Amino acid sequence: MSPILAPPVPAPLRDVMPLLRRLAIERPGGEFDFVTPQAAGEAVTPWILPAAGSSELAAPLPGLRAWAAPGDGDRFALTLDRPGGSQLATVLPGPGAGTRIDYTLDLPSGATLIHEFSADAVYLRGAQNEFLGGAAAPWAMDARGIPINTYFVVAGRGLSQVIEPRAEHSYPFLVDPLFGRRLIAGVRWSERDPRGRTLEVRPTFWNRITMNNPWAIRSGWEEVIALMPEADTEQLFWQYRCHQQFAPIKRSWNLDEWIVRESYLDSFRHLCN
C-alpha cells in the first residue's frame, strides 16, 4: 500500500517559512494560567471574511490555516487565532501580486471604521458608539525579514493595506495585520495580601496593544464587570485604566480591593495601585 503524502507547500510559502515559524511560535496565549472560555460559536473577528474564490490549502505549520486566491497575483492568505482576535497574513509571491490588499469586511449595521493616524490603527465603532474591535498597526517583511513600509487606508466601510517596497527587498513578502475583538482573557480573585483581595485581570494580546484608546478602556472594563460584577468600583476601575494605559505588558493586571486613592491621577502617582 502506497503511503499517503501530504500536499506540497507552495514555493512562496516555503520561502517565507522562517517568518511563518516565528508567527506561529510567538503566540501570547500560552502565558495564561486561567482563561474565561469563549462563548460557544462566538467568532473572534466576525467582520473579517475570506476573499471570494479562495481555496483552503494544507496547513504549512500547526496552528496556521492557508488559502490560495488565484487570479489575484497568486496571493496566499494565512490565519492564526490568538486570544481576543486573529492574525491575518498575506503572502505576495512577486510583483504581479501588487502592493495593495483590500480586506473583505462584513461590518455590523451602523458600524464605522475609525482610522487613528497617530498609531496607524483602525477601530470598529458600533452604532451606539461602542467598541467592537479593530486592527492593530500593520507590518510587512520581505523573505529575509527586512521590514517594508506599510500603512492602512480607510475609505468609508472599506479597509486596505498598502506596502511600499524598495529595490533591495526580496520576494515573497509577508504582509500582516492583527485583528482583535475580545479584550479580556480571564479574571479571578486571589489572596496575595492580608489587607484584602486582589482581582487578577488577564488582558488579551489585542488589549495590550490598544493602550490609550478610550473605547478600548471602557469596553475592556465592561468585559471585566460582565465576568466579575462585584468588581464594579471606581477604585478598581482607576487601577485597571492605569494598567491598560501605562503597564500593558505586565503578565497580569493586579487590582487591589483595599486600595483607596483620591483620584485617578493619585492612582497613577502610586504606579497604578
In a domain, 230, yes or no: yes
In a domain, 265, yes or no: yes
Q: Are residues 167 and 214 in the same domain?
A: no
Q: Are residues 238 and 156 in the same domain?
A: no
Neighbouring CB atoms inside 10 A of 85's CB total 26
Q: State the Cα–Cα distance between residues 105 and 51, nearest whole angstrom.
A: 9
Q: Residue 89's pLDDT is what?
A: 84
| Apex 189 CA angle, 244 and 247, nearest 5 | 20
Asked if residue 43 lies in contact with residue 50, where contact means CB atoms within 8 angstroms, the answer is no
Question: Which candidate, 60, 160, 169, 172, places its Cα nearest to that of 120?
Answer: 160
In a domain, 69, yes or no: yes
Q: State the Cα–Cα distance between residues 167 and 178, nearest whole angstrom.
A: 27
In a domain, 173, yes or no: yes
Q: Are residues 135 and 249 in the same domain?
A: no
Backbone angles phi, psi at 228, to 5 degrees: -140, 80
Backbone angles phi, psi at 226, to 5 degrees: -65, -35
- Domain assignment of residue 64, given as a range: 12-36+46-180
Q: Are residues 144 and 239 in the same domain?
A: no
Q: Are residues 26 and 149 in the same domain?
A: yes
- Strand partners for 164: 149
Q: Residue 267's pLDDT is what?
A: 96
Q: Residue 47's pLDDT is what?
A: 56
Q: Are residues 52 and 161 in the same domain?
A: yes
Backbone angles phi, psi at 41, to 5 degrees: 80, 0
In a domain, 216, yes or no: yes
Q: Are residues 194 and 154 in the same domain?
A: no
Q: Are residues 232 and 257 in the same domain?
A: yes
**Global pTM value:** 0.76
Spatial CB neighbours of 60, under 8 Å, sequence gap ≥ 6: 9, 13, 14, 17, 20, 66, 78
Q: Per residue of the chain (273 residues), what is the pLDDT tens digit? A: 444 445 567 787 778 878 777 665 444 333 334 444 443 344 445 456 666 677 888 777 777 788 887 665 578 888 877 667 777 888 999 998 999 998 878 888 888 999 988 778 888 888 888 888 888 888 999 999 999 999 999 998 889 999 999 999 999 999 988 888 888 989 999 998 999 999 999 998 788 887 777 888 998 999 999 999 999 999 999 999 999 999 998 989 999 999 999 999 999 999 999
In a domain, 110, yes or no: yes
Q: Are residues 160 and 240 in the same domain?
A: no
In a domain, 5, yes or no: no
Asked if residue 245 lies in contact with residue 272, where contact means CB atoms within 8 angstroms, the answer is no
Asked if residue 206 lies in contact with residue 159, where contact means CB atoms within 8 angstroms, the answer is no
- Final residue in a domain of this structure, among 180, 210, 245: 180
- Final residue in a domain of this structure, among 157, 180, 203: 180
CA distances to 31, 53, 68, 189, 258 from 252, rounded to whole Å, are: 10, 42, 38, 12, 18
Neighbouring CB atoms inside 10 A of 171's CB total 17
- Final residue in a domain of this structure, among 180, 198, 225: 180
Q: Are residues 112 and 226 in the same domain?
A: no
Q: Residue 23's pLDDT is what?
A: 62
Spatial CB neighbours of 128, under 8 Å, sequence gap ≥ 6: none
Q: State the Cα–Cα distance between residues 168 and 170, nearest whole angstrom.
A: 6
What total number of domains does the chain contain?
Answer: 2
Q: Are residues 224 and 99 in the same domain?
A: no
In a domain, 30, yes or no: yes
Q: Residue 245's pLDDT is what?
A: 93
Q: Are residues 74 and 191 in the same domain?
A: no
